[in-house]
């Protein structure tokens, strides 16, 4: 029962943080494409680790994290108003390069010369 509630609370926090990020006026945050990759909340709801990635890369994500840390009081207050939690967890923002990493994998896969399924089927029929 507790795991279900924790999972639901985690998803609620993630959803609301995404909305709050769009409302921030800090140029370090709103000048890049930020994505919340993962949110982890401790069992007692005292700490919340938010993994943030930027499309422009890890360096840009680190710069955005500085803006998020300076606005953490506002973000925490807004989160408390929107979710009506008894205790709003302390937010810990962590940069990650997962968007950049997945974009690089996509570029590599697109650059490979892979035959279409139709060409493979015709080759197999010719060999038979």
Given pLDDT bands bounded at 50, 70 and 90, which one contains residue 19? Answer: very high
Q: Which residue has the higher pLDDT, 56 or 21?
A: 21
Residue 96 phi, psi dihedral angles, 5° rounding: -145, 155
> pLDDT tens-digit profile of 34-53?
889 999 999 988 999 999 99
Domain ranges within the chain, ordered by starting residue? 2-127
In 3-state terms, what secondary structure has residue 84?
coil
pLDDT digits (tens, 9 = 90+) for 63-115: 999 999 999 999 999 999 999 888 899 999 999 887 777 778 888 888 887 76
Q: In terms of Cα–Cα distance, which of 70, 52, 72 is closest to 62? A: 52
Of the pLDDT bands very low, low, confident and very high (cuts 50, 70, 90), residue 5 is: confident
Tell me the whole-structure pTM to 2 decimals: 0.75
Q: Could you give the angle at which helices 2-23 and 72-83 cross, rounded to 10 degrees?
A: 130
| pLDDT number for residue 1 | 44
CATH class of 2-127: alpha beta
């Amino acid at each position: 029962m507790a795991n279900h509630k924790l999972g639901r609370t985690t998803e609620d926090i993630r959803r609301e943080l995404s909305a709050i990020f769009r409302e921030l006026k800090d140029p370090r945050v709103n000048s890049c494409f930020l994505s919340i990759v993962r949110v982890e909340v401790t069992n007692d709801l005292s700490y919340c680790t938010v993994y943030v990635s930027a499309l422009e890369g890890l360096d840009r994500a680190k710069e955005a994290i500085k803006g998020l840390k300076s606005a953490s009081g506002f973000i925490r207050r807004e989160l408390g108003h929107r979710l009506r939690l008894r205790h709003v967890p302390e937010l810990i923002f962590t940069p990650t390069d997962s968007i950049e990493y997945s974009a690089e994998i996509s570029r590599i896969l697109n650059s490979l010369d892979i035959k279409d399924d139709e060409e493979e089927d015709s080759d197999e029929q010719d060999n038979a």
